[in-house]
Amino acid sequence: MSNSLHNVIAQVEQVILGKPHQIRLALACLLARGHLLIEDLPGVGKTTLAHALARSLGLQFQRIQFTSDMLPADILGVSIFQRDSNEFKFHPGPIFAQMILADEVNRAMPKTQSALLEAMEEQQVTMEGVTRALPSPFFVIATQNPTYQIGTFPLPESQLDRFLMRIQLGYPDAQAERGLLAGVERREIVAKLTPQMEAAELLALQQQVRQVFVSPALLDYVQAIVRHTRESARYVHGLSPRAGLSLLAAARAWSLLDKRAAVIPEDVQAVLPGVASHRLQSVQDVQRQDGDKLARELIEAVAIP
Amino acid sequence: MNLPSTLIYGLLLCVLMVCAPHAAHLPSWVSVESAALLGWCAYLTRNKLALPARWLLGALMLGDVIGILASFHTLFGRDASTTLLILLTAFKQLEVRNLRDATMTIYLACFIIVTNFFYTQTIAAALYMLATLLLIVTVWLHLHGDTLPLKARLRLAAIMLMQAVPLMLVLFILFPRVQGPLWGLPQDAYGSSGLSDTMSPGSLSKLSLSDAVAFRVTFNGEPPRHTQMYWRGPVLWKFDGKTWQAGRATSAQAPQLDSLDSASDYTVTLEPHNKTWLFTLDMPTSISIPAQLTYDFQMVRTAPVNARLRYNAHSQLGYRANADEDPRQLQRALNLPPNLNPRARQLAAEWRARLPGDVAVVNAALEHFRREDFHYTLEPPALGSNEVDDFLFGTRHGFCEHYASSFVFLMRAAGIPARVVTGYQGGEYNDLGGYYIVRQSDAHAWAEVWLKERGWVRIDPTAAIAPARVQSGLVAAMPDSAALPFLARMQSPLLLKLRFDLDALAFQWNQWVLSYDPERQFALLTRLGMESVSLQQMALDMMLGLALLVGLYTLFMLRRLQVRDSDAVQRLYLRFCRKLEKTGIARAAHEGPRDFAMRAAQAQPQQAAAITDITARYMALRYGKAPDPMALQVLRRMVAAFRL
């Protein structure tokens, strides 16, 4: 595996202090061709993480700040009539970039949200009968504020499922906080970051992830996990087949980050909270606040076969 | 041909092995032809030649059917059918083209195994058939596309056979037995060597050359002395100058016995001899199976003994038998063929005239045998028409039948009622089995004379000439033992012990396998606590037992299927985990191997290297791609060597 991947990790760790696990999860999500949802309070470094990742990976970066009055055209782009050439010309929206930071995605109206999510899913934009491919690689990091905050339109379950992972950053620990407070301003550091790899290299790595070996014994384990969520009375719904596929893809990417050629149960366990927490809902919890706890319980409930 | 040649060779070997024991009794042309057919098939397979046309095989087969008809005059019955089956099986090999034909051969081979037991049921035969069955199952596995190497396939076949053993035991023990053979075997299935109901010079000495077991006896209590072991068989009254026969009874008087001395109680396991009489000690009083005690103290059954028979009998060793004999019977015991053996008559008349009573005459005769130059031999010279004269005054070399015959002749000539009794004398003690073996070589003939007040008294003239015969058996009595059967001659202690061991084994085999009849089944089931079960109950128990076993096997196999993929590797890892668990480091069910290894290595720093190494190898085997086949061996060694 290329060292540049580790340079990327090292570089991002300089910016986001004390969160190596979340950084690796974000990278794994990217390598598994998934999209990432970061859910946390404002000001814990969601935007900085996305920014640092984009710069380190050498991707075109676009930030879209979602607001409640935003329309789909604000994301996808708009065709404007050109008086001199007497025809409509398409002005691509901010979504035509390799890495999108969709900030506070749950503040937009459902109509706008679904425009973004459709583009994420299809990797293309269709407007006025013309289909335009999005760039490759294409990676969306969406952030959302906790759903109980005012002025939010929570993402429906079907749309949550389109994110490969949901992670939470949380407050930094004391040591990291001290480093943050004592150090230079994050924005300056991000501005100075240099790309550690090219887009082509990232695509090659994404290809490599698909070739990480998965043994029958490991498939047994993934199946046992999925089966448990479906059979247990603890959850409103079990994990979907797509969730199972996502879990496997993320575990493969995690294993690649660990420089291994085969997936082991620990890989699955490492990515499971990220992959499953936004897909699982406890029967006691309507607010979906304890996804992480549920995922940890899930790990402990399923024996490794 | 789309079957692999190794499979064809395997099939041929199966057929050869199951048919080989039949060669002993098949017409020689059948053996030769079958071997030739198998050889032909092997040749075609080796050179990848096409199989012969069906019309050719059909024509050859037709010829063989005619050949069988010519040899046996029938196509039915044991011999002809077996022969036909073997030939057809050999022919079948020349048209084995696909899986179906090959499977057919396997079934045929299994069936031919059974036919072997029509001819012999010894332990050796059973062992041979077991080996053959192993081969058949091995080939069968091959047939089902198994790609295992030969050794592994043999092993699997052996395991399958062993798995069948409990099923076999259940079937054997619980299959409801019915009295008598389930279906009638042709008469020729039974050997018929043994005493006959006539006696002529040479008939017993010929029998003495046979090692075959006549019967086995277990005494319930103190066994009698060797000199008292007279096993009573046919009693012969009628003499025509050459041959002794039973003759026809002139009285229906029931036998009467006054006991004088000790009694004996014993169990006899009689080999089939195709005759109606049963052997008992002189003189029998009762028997455990339906049989009739005749006026001359023979135990006789209505049906011939054509299967091994066990019975319990009771005898009086000291007795007064028929002291009030019917005069007509006594007259029968005095009849002599006229005009024969004048010199013997003259000798008897001399004794009668000179001596005061019957007892003195008897003693004089015995004294005569003892004093004069008589010899006891297995190879007596031929005798002329006046047999008794020729023997008494000419050759003077004879076997027990000569002495018994001439003694009875002399007694009758002297006016003393006398008769010949045939049977067996003595027996050989097998201390391993705790029983006596009586062989055909123990066949004997003696005399009985009727004396006033004393009834019929046993007189053994052979004892006068060769006392050792009665005291210790035939071997001791024969100075020159060249003509004795091989087994009887063995005197080396080691060989003797081996012989007894083998016989004890054969005895158990007979008792528990071959003659496991309703009676023994009942006894065994009673001992197992299933008292007085009906046939239906037994059949039901058998089905239940079988279902239980099959169910157990199924569960076992399902479990194996579940862990099949992981089996060896996972078992090793779990053993490793158990070793760690003993020191208090238990792996949680959801704990991944790497996490566990890290935790364990921290808890056991001195073993950290081994723990990490074993875990890495385990992960490579279980989760890795295309693991090294040797890695499992390495892991096994490491786990075995892992100590805390």
**Which residues does chain B have within 8 Å of residue A216's beta carbon, measured at their own beta carbons?**
565
User: Are A264 and B588 in contact (CB < 8 Å)?
Assistant: no
* Residue in B311, B259, B274 with CA at minimum distance from that of residue B289: B311
Of A216, A220, A300, which has the smallest distance from its Cβ to B590's Cβ?
Answer: A300
pLDDT per residue as tens digits for the range B562-604: 544 457 788 888 889 888 888 888 888 888 899 999 999 988 8
B475 pLDDT tier (thresholds 50, 70, 90): low
pLDDT in tens, B49-67: 888 888 999 999 999 999 9
Q: Is residue B169 part of a domain?
A: no
Q: What are the DSSP calls for B363-396, one per residue? A: HHHHHHHHHTT-EE-SSPPP--SSHHHIIIIII-
* Phi, then psi, of B455 in degrees rounded to 5: 70, -150
Whether residues A261 and B593 touch (CB distance < 8 A) is answered with no
Contact B625 A262 (CB under 8 A): yes
Q: Say yes or no: B20 and B131 in one domain.
A: yes
Structure confidence at residue A91 (pLDDT): 85
Q: Which CATH architecture has domain A3-201?
A: 3-Layer(aba) Sandwich (3.40)
How many whole angstroms separate alpha carbon B8 and alpha carbon B45? 7
Which CATH code, of 2.40.170.20, 3.40.30.10, 1.10.8.80, 3.30.230.10, is assigned to A211-301?
Answer: 1.10.8.80
Among B565, B591, B625, beta carbon nearest to A217: B565
> Using a CB-CB distance cutoff of 8 angstroms, which residues of chain B are in contact with residue A299?
590
What is the CA A91 to chain-centroid distance, rounded? 27
**Residue B432 in domain:** yes
Q: Which of A243, A256, A258 is nearest to A212 (CA)?
A: A256
Chain-centre distance for alpha carbon B214: 12
Neighbouring C-alpha atoms within 13 Å toward the C-beta of B364: 19
**Once rounded to an integer, what is the mean pLDDT over residues B340-362?**
88
Residues B546 and B575 occupy one common structural domain: no
Is residue A169 within 8 Å of residue A38, measured between CB atoms?
Answer: yes
Predicted confidence (pLDDT) at residue A90 exceeds the cutoff of 80: yes
Q: What's the confidence (pLDDT) of residue B138?
A: 93
Nearest CA in chain B to A298: B590
Q: For the segment B399-457, what is each residue's pLDDT rounded down to a tens digit?
A: 888 899 999 999 999 989 999 999 999 888 876 667 888 888 888 999 999 988 888 99
CA gap B600, B610 in Å, rounded: 11
Selecting from B570, B592, B625 the residue whose C-beta is nearest the C-beta of A266 gives B592
By DSSP bridging, strand B435-439 and strand B213-219 are antiparallel
3-class DSSP assignment, residue A167 = strand
Among B461, B489, B517, identify where a domain stops: B489
Q: Is B460 a catalytic residue?
A: yes
Tell whether B336 is covered by a domain: yes
pLDDT digits (tens, 9 = 90+) for A234-245: 888 888 898 999
Percentage of residues in chain B having pLDDT higher than 70? 90
CB contact under 8 A, B624 and A217: no
Q: Residue B390 in contact with residue B341, Cβ under 8 Å?
A: no
Nearest to A213 among B589, B594, B624 (CB): B624
Q: Are B198 and B244 in contact (CB under 8 A)?
A: yes
Q: What is the mean pLDDT of residues B325-339?
A: 86
Reduced to 3 states (helix: H, G, I; strand: E, B; else coil), residue B219 is: strand
What distance in Å separates residue A221's CA from the closest CA in chain B? 10
Residues of A with CB under 8 A from a CB of B: 213, 215-218, 220, 261-266, 269, 299-305
Rounded to the nearest integer, the mean pLDDT of chain B is 84
Q: Where does residue B139 rank: exposed (0-12), middle (13-18), buried (19+ CB within 10 A)?
A: buried
Residue B621 within any structural domain of the chain: yes
- Asked whether the bond before A137 is cis by omega within 30 degrees of 0, the reply is yes
Q: Which of B537, B562, B587 is the last residue of a domain?
A: B562
Which of B590, B594, B596 is the mutation pick for testing A, counting most A CBs within 10 A?
Answer: B590
DSSP tag of A17: T
Give the Cβ contact number of residue B461 at 10 Å. Answer: 28
* Residue B598, CB-side half-sphere exposure with 13 Å CA sphere: 5
Is B221 inside a domain boundary? yes
- B618 lies within 8 A of chain A by CB: no
Q: Is B519 domain-assigned?
A: no
What is the distance between the alpha carbons of residues B296 and B329, in angstroms, rounded to a whole number? 10
Which among A217, A262, A303 has CB closest to B589?
Answer: A303
Q: How many domains does chain B have?
A: 4
Out of B400, B402, B503, B577, the active site residue is B400
* Ramachandran sector of residue B347 (left: φ over 0; alpha: ψ -120 to 50; beta: rest): alpha
Closest CA to B438 of B216, B225, B634, B229: B216
Q: Which residues contact A58 (CB under 8 A, 6 or more apart)?
A: A195, A196, A197, A198, A199
Give pLDDT, residue B185. Answer: 45
pLDDT band, residue A263 (cuts 50/70/90): very high
Q: Is B561 on the interface with A (CB under 8 A)?
A: no
Interchain contact B590–A (C-beta under 8 A)? yes
Chain B neighbors of A221, CB-CB under 8 A: none
**Residues B76 and B16 occupy one common structural domain:** yes
SS3 B449: strand
Q: Of A17-21, A40-44, B119-123, B549-553, which has the strongest mean pLDDT?
A: B549-553
Compute chain B's Rg from CA coordinates: 35
Residue A237 CB neighbour total at 10 angstroms: 12
Task: Give the span between the Cα atoms of B260 and B482, in whole angstroms.
Answer: 42
Q: What's the average model confidence in pLDDT over B548-570?
A: 75
Mutate to test the interface with A, among B599, B612, B619, B623 (most CBs of A within 10 A): B623
Taking each continuous run of H as one helix and of E as one strand, the counts in chain A are 13, 9
- For residue range B368-404, list pLDDT tens digits in order: 888 888 888 877 888 888 888 888 888 888 888 889 9
pLDDT at residue B184, as a whole number: 42
**Do B93 and B60 share a domain, yes or no?**
yes
DSSP output for B574-607: HHHHHHHHTTT-PPPTT--HHHHHHHHHHH-GGG
Indicate where chain A has its CATH 1.10.8.80 domain(s): 211-301
Q: Is the model's pLDDT at B115 over the cut of 50?
A: yes
> What digits encode the pLDDT tens for the residues B158-208?
999 999 999 999 888 888 776 544 444 444 334 446 788 888 877 777 777
**Whole domain around residue B296: which residue ranges?**
198-489
In B, which residues are within 8 Å of A228 by CB distance?
Answer: none
**Rounded average pLDDT over A108-125:** 85
Interface test with B, best of A248, A258, A266 (most B CBs within 10 A): A266
Domain annotation covers residue B592: yes
Shared domain for B216 and B351, answered yes or no, is: yes
State how far the Cα of A212 lies from the Cα of A28, in Å rounded to an integer. 13
**Residue B365 clears pLDDT 70, i.e. is over it:** yes
The answer, yes or no, to whether residue B77 has pLDDT greater than 60, is: yes
Instruction: Note the pLDDT tens digit of each residue in B490-537.
Output: 566 777 777 778 888 888 887 778 777 766 777 777 777 776 667 788
Q: Which chain A residue's Cα is nearest to B624?
A: A262
Three-state DSSP state, B14: helix
Q: Are B174 and B537 in contact (CB under 8 A)?
A: no
**β partners of residue A61:** A99
How far apart CA A117 and CA A66 sit, in angstroms, is 13
On the question of pLDDT at A139 being above 80, the answer is yes
Report the alpha-carbon distance of residue B541 to residue B521 in Å, rounded.
Answer: 14
Q: Looking at the partner chain, which of B565, B589, B594 has a beta carbon nearest the beta carbon of A266?
A: B594
Which of B88, B121, B147 lies at the terminal end of a domain, its last residue? B147
Give the angle A56-A59-A62 at the CA atoms, nearest 5°. 110
Three-class SS of residue B438? strand
Q: Is B337 on the interface with A (CB under 8 A)?
A: no
Measured between alpha carbons, how far is residue B441 from residues B349, B382, B400, B437 in Å?
A: 36, 21, 12, 11
Q: Which amino acid is at A277?
A: S
Whether the predicted pLDDT of B483 surpasses 60: no
Domain limits, CATH 3.40.50.300, in chain A: 3-201
Q: Give A297→chain B minimum CA distance, Å.
A: 11
Q: Of A213, A300, A302, which has the smallest distance from its Cβ to B625's Cβ?
A: A213
- Across the interface, whether the CB atoms of A265 and B592 are under 8 A apart is answered yes
Residue B560 is predicted with a pLDDT of: 64
Q: At what angle do helices B28-46 and B77-92 cross, to 10 degrees?
A: 10
For residue B519, the SS3 value is: helix
Pairwise CA distance, residues A61 & A76, whole Å:
15
Tally the residues of chain A: 305
Residues of B in Cβ contact (< 8 Å) with A295: none
CA distance A19 to A12: 10
Region A162-173: mean pLDDT is 86
Q: How far apart are the first and last CA of chain A?
A: 29
* Euclidean distance between CA atoms A193 and A7, whole angstroms: 11
B423 CB-side CA count, 13 A = 28
What pLDDT, in 10s, does the model give residues A44-73? 888 888 888 888 888 888 888 888 888 888
| C-alpha span between B308 and B322 (Å, rounded) | 32
Contacts (Cβ under 8 Å, ≥6 apart) of A130? A90
Q: Tell me whether residues A262 and B595 touch, CB distance under 8 A.
A: no
pLDDT at A119: 85
| ipTM for this model | 0.84
Q: Which residue has the higher pLDDT, A188 or A99?
A: A99
A303 with B619: Cβ contact below 8 A: no
What is the reported pLDDT for A126? Answer: 82
Please report the pLDDT score of residue B17 as a whole number: 93
pLDDT at B200: 82
The DSSP result for B25-64, as a single string, is TS-HHHHHHHHHHHHHHHHHHHTTPPPPPHHHHHHHHHHH
Same domain, B414 and B378: yes
Looking at the fold, whether B424 and B319 belong to one and the same domain comes out as: yes
Q: CA nearest A296 in B: which residue?
A: B590
**Would residue B156 count as lying in a domain?**
no
Query: Are the Cβ atoms of B592 and A304 closer than 8 angstroms?
Result: yes
- Tell me: do B558 and B604 sit in the same domain: no
Please check whether residues B386 and B456 belong to one and the same domain. Answer: yes
Q: What is the pLDDT of residue A197?
A: 86
Please, where are the H alpha helices in B194-337?
A: 203-207, 327-332
The rounded mean pLDDT for chain A is: 85
In a shared domain, residues B547 and B595: no
Dist. CA A302–CA B10, nearest whole Å:
50
Point out the least confidently predicted range of A182-196, B65-79, B216-230, B603-617.
Answer: A182-196
- Interacting residues of B426 by C-beta distance below 8 A, sequence separation 6+: B226, B229, B438, B442, B444, B470, B472, B473, B474
At B249, which amino acid appears? A
Edge-first strand order for the sheet with A99-103 is: A61-65, A99-103, A139-144, A36-39, A165-167
Q: Which 3-state string (H, E, C) describes B298-345?
A: CEECCCCCCCCEEEEEEEECCEEECCCCCHHHHHHCCCCCCCCCHHHH
- pLDDT at site B481: 47
pLDDT at B362 over 50: yes
B596-628 confidence digits (pLDDT tens): 999 999 888 888 888 998 998 888 888 888 666
Mark whether B400 is an active-site residue: yes
Residue B25 known to be catalytic: no
Q: Which residue of A has its CA nearest to B596?
A: A266
Cα distances from B593 to residues B25, B586, B633, in angstroms, run 68, 12, 19
Phi-psi domain of B489 (left: phi exceeds 0; alpha: psi -120 through 50; beta: other): alpha
Asked if the Cβ–Cβ distance from B565 to A301 is below 8 Å, we say no
What is the biggest distance separating any 2 CA atoms in chain B, rounded to whole angstroms?
119
Contact call for A300 and B593, based on CB within 8 A: no
Q: Check CB contact under 8 Å for B594 and A215.
A: no
Tell whether B384 and B353 lie within a shared domain: yes
- Chain A interface includes B571 (CB < 8 A): no
Element (H, E) at B249: none
Q: Are residues B451 and B558 in the same domain?
A: no
Average pLDDT on B461-481 reads: 72
Task: State the distance between the two ends of chain B, measured CA to CA, in whole angstroms.
Answer: 60
